[in-house]
Structure 1
Amino acid sequence: MADEEIVTATDEETEPALSVSAAMGLAKGALESVVVRLVGEVSEVNDKPGYKAVYFTVKDEKAALPCMMWMNRYQAAGVSLAVGALVEMTGRFSLYAAKGRMNFDVFSLTLAGEGQLRLQVANLARELEAMGLMAPERKRPLPAYPQTVGIVTSPRGSVIHDMLRTLRRRYPLAKVLVAGVPVEGPGAADAMVDGLAKVVFAGAELVLLGRGGGSFEDLMPFNDRRLARTIAACPVPVVTGIGHEPDTTIADLVADVRASTPTAAAEAVAPTRQETDARLAGLGQRLGRSMELKLTGAARSVERIAALSLFREPERLFDAEALALDDLSDRLGRALPDTLRENRHRVGLLGEALTRMLPSALDRSSGQVSTARARLVSRGATLTDRFAAPVLRDRGRLHSAGEHVTDRFRRSVAVNAARLHDLSPLTVIGRGFSIARTDEGAVVRSVDQVAPGASLMVAVGDGEIDCTVDRCRRIDAAVEDWRE
């Protein structure tokens, strides 16, 4: 082996040496003749504006390969490179002699395996975001103390047990509705849509949608378009707990609340006993302060009302009535003498009319009787005899009628006489009243008719009294003195 190496070295030394550029040209020709198709994960991307090409690096577990792709080819491929994407490329090796660097010149580029799925998910996410299904203002708050909680997940595995255990430990008052559905594989998305509809129809106030960890392909049912639209249109809030912390699906993006794990989702909807106790204590304190403020305000209102003059001097309630009563009494005192005077005058007029009417009524009846008698006498004895009986009868009737006529006037005269007697000043004086007259004989009706020092004659029931005026006072002043 050593001899062969010595001979080889000797042979090479006999050939002429190549320059660096010649050697690089020889290598460049050998590399560019090799066209291959390879798969790798993007670890670095350099796509700056103004560059003629896109530079990126792909790798696997043992090696890394720098790549470049002219911009026109990259735009025609329709793929957006991102770190972590799995890509499938076709191209050839290229050597940049000036720097001694080797690149892989990419002719075509597509996403491979999970990378293609990620592209589909990214396109769907952009579409749903443009529709507003991921807008923060669309997210609904969770009820603080839900009475019914719906769970949509696989009936097998640890997820359902973790959720139920968490709800039972933190919030045992909640009623739990479980819709057991497949969460991976064909038909899983449709099953979850049906499960969401069932728990909502059964009365769930919010829904937990979850599953355990898995690969990106395993989580693809949660990237379904129909499931995303169903979550966005759900009439109650939806909380997702899908996979582990780094995993994010379309369902997480459109849900009202996204939790990192299924257990965290259950914790998000279930308040702890300590939180409930603290909230109740806070509400109790607020209620106590509110009631205290209301009672204080009510006490102040009662004090203000009690301080009103209406309650300190209740007799003032009748001030208006008392003033009205005094006014009416004053008016009655002034109106009574005028009324008596008017009635006295009317009685006098009625008496005079009666005196004139009575004699004339009697004279009319007497004249009629005399005329009838003279006519009877002139008719002769025969006629008298013929009508003697009727005449006698009529005479008796005439006398009776005459007596009745006078009886009617006699009663009227008696009634008027009684009224005259009642209205007579002498009768009023006899009841304790008196009439004051001036020296000229005029009745004194007002304090304005006399002055201090004037002489008055006061008529009483059994005589007259001569008086001298010392002082004059109006009734209004007397009433004021009486009130004081």
Structure 2
Amino acid sequence: MLILSVTQINRYISFKLKEDKKLGGVMVRGEISNFTAHRSGHFYFTLKDENSSIKAVMFKSYAGAVKFMPQNGMNVIAMGSVSVFERDGVYQVYVTDIIPDGAGSVYVANEQLKEKLRKEGLFDQSAKRQIPQMPSRIGVVTSGTGAALQDIINVLSRRYPIGELAVFPALVQGETAADSISHGLTDAARADCDVIILARGGGSLEDLTPFNTEKVAYAVYNSSVPVISAVGHETDVTIADMAADLRAPTPSAAAEMVSVSKEQLYNNLRYYDEKLDSAVSGRINAFETTLEKLTERLLRFSPEHKIENNIQKFEELSKRLKLAYEKIISEKEKKYISGISRMEAMSPVKVLMRGYSLVYRNDKIVNKVNELETGNVVEIKMSDGTVKAQIIAGEEN
């Protein structure tokens, strides 16, 4: 019996397929699944129908000529040839051209459900809730053995060790997965979680079917706790993602969204410390200013201050009184001196000194001759003294 190597077998099968003219130019109708547009420019995907599937590849030289971007769930007709990828021993369709053949049933069903839920308000941005920045308890609804859970645990243990992680295992694939996911979300909300991460690793459109159900969409939307959906790869967008309060491209990214790194915590603490210091300093300065104003008012209205003010006023009034008094005395002195001067000018003595005399009879001045009679004794007052005389005779003018 001939012993062949694996390479020889794969090469032999490849040769046989190439010999088959029917497989050298085929047209295959199927639904696209697991589509990947590689950064190299090649398209990798699976074509499937109700009973079977076959891998397909479309190299960059042909992919660049396609007028549309193939998507999962899209029904297409692919032209190409069937051959073997010898390294893996896998036969596949090497596609040279591809045209749409209508959307697949799964894709159409998803689009119809999306439109229904959109009209019912499950995707409204106004209904989205804020994700807490520093949750105390983080709930995770996912497979208990999947890679998604390990990714979340690794991120949280590194970035946010102070957060408590509560895992609620759920089936994420299969006919009963939608019920399991819905129960997990309800249990997490009842367990006093501050936020819930709904997570699953990547997969085909069929693998993600539970997350495209109405039941899971309403479980996410009606959750009493904010939900972050992290289902599939970054390019996978499920109905659960659209109903969630926040969508994360991967489970690891979801863990980062609910956690604060040690560096960020330190920066936040330093920021709030500076802010607190500034606020306290501002309050102290405000109180000092108020205290200074109150002290000033207290001094202004204190008895001591009033006494000092009254003393100052008294001294000022005393000075003004003294000045007024001196002014009055000065004016009076001037008037007195002026009056004395006038009196001296009008004094009889001054008149006598000019050669005049005053005649008195019975201590009364005699102004007229007819006031005297012969024999009357009179006193004649002169400037240097007084003499007595007797009237011998009188003569009127």
TM range (shorter): 0.5 to 0.7
2:239 alignment partner, one of 224, 246, 250: 250
- Give the distance between the partners of 2:277 and 2:30, measured in 1 at CA: 68
1:190 aligns with 2:161: no
User: In structure 2, what residue type is equivalent to 1:160?
Assistant: L
1:87 to 75, 85, 94: 75
Could you tell me whether the CA contact under 8 Å between 1:152 and 1:210 is conserved in 2? yes
For residue 123 of structure 1, the aligned residue among 97, 107, 112 is: 112
- C-alpha offsets along residues 226-249 of structure 1, whole Å, 9 cap, x if unaligned? 110111111111011111111110
Supply the distance in 2 between the matched residues of 1:288 and 1:158 (Cα, whole angstroms): 45
C-alpha distance in 2 between matches for 1:225 and 1:38: 33
Cα gap change, 1:82 to 1:244, in 2 (>3 Å): closer
Gaps of 5+ in 1: 1-36, 43-59, 65-80, 90-105, 320-484
Greater RCO between the two (CA within 8 Å, min separation 6)?
Answer: 2
- Report runs of 4+ in structure 1 exceeding 6 Å deviation: 316-319
Structure 2 residue runs without a partner (length 5+) = 1-26, 33-55, 63-67, 78-99, 308-397
RMSD of the TM alignment (CA)?
3.0
Partner of 2:147: 158
Q: What is the deviation of 1:204?
A: 0.5
SS at 2:256's partner residue?
helix
Kindly indicate whether the alpha-carbon contact (under 8 Å) linking 1:211 and 1:262 is maintained by their aligned counterparts in 2: yes
CA distance in 1, matches of 2:230, 2:184: 16
Q: Percent identity?
A: 31
Partner in structure 2 of residue 230 of structure 1: 219
User: When you count strand as a share of all residues, which structure comes out higher?
Assistant: 2
In 2, Cα distance between equivalents of 1:153 and 1:315 = 79
Is residue 180–residue 195 contact of structure 1 (8 Å, CA) maintained in 2? Answer: yes
Match of residue 296 from structure 2: 307
Cα–Cα, structure 1 residues 241 and 295, in superposed 2: closer, same or farther, change >3 Å?
A: same
Q: CA deviation at 1:318?
A: 9.3
Paired residue for 1:268? 257
Equivalent-residue separation in structure 2 for 1:218 and 1:255 (angstroms): 19
Read off the aligned partner of 1:144 and give its amino acid letter.
Q
Kept in 1: contact 2:233–2:250 (CA 8 A): yes
Alpha-carbon distance, 1:88 to partner:
7.5
The one-letter code matched in structure 2 to 1:162 is: D
Residue of structure 2 in register with 1:205 after alignment: 194
Please show how residues 141-152 of structure 1 align to structure 2 within 5 Å: 141-152=130-141
The one-character-per-residue Cα deviations of 1:374-424 (angstroms, maximum 9, x if unpaired) are xxxxxxxxxxxxxxxxxxxxxxxxxxxxxxxxxxxxxxxxxxxxxxxxxxx
Sort the Cα spacing of 1:196 and 1:41 in 2 relative to 1 into closer, same or farther, 3 A.
closer
The 5-angstrom pairing of residues 355-370 of structure 1 reads: none
Cα separation, 1, equivalents of 2:140 and 2:170: 10
Residue aligning to 1:176: 165
- Deviations 1:409-463 (Å, cap 9, x if unpaired)? xxxxxxxxxxxxxxxxxxxxxxxxxxxxxxxxxxxxxxxxxxxxxxxxxxxxxxx
How high is the TM-score relative to the length of structure 2?
0.53
Across the two proteins, how many residue pairs are aligned to each other?
231
Letter in 1 for 2:227: V
- Letter of the 1:229 counterpart: Y
Would you say 1:215 and 2:204 are equivalent positions?
yes
Q: Distance in 1 between matches of 2:30 and 2:206?
A: 18
Tell me the equivalent position of 1:297.
Answer: 286
Query: Is the 8 Å Cα contact of residues 74 and 107 (structure 2) preserved in structure 1?
Result: no
Distance 1:205 1:62 in 2: 46
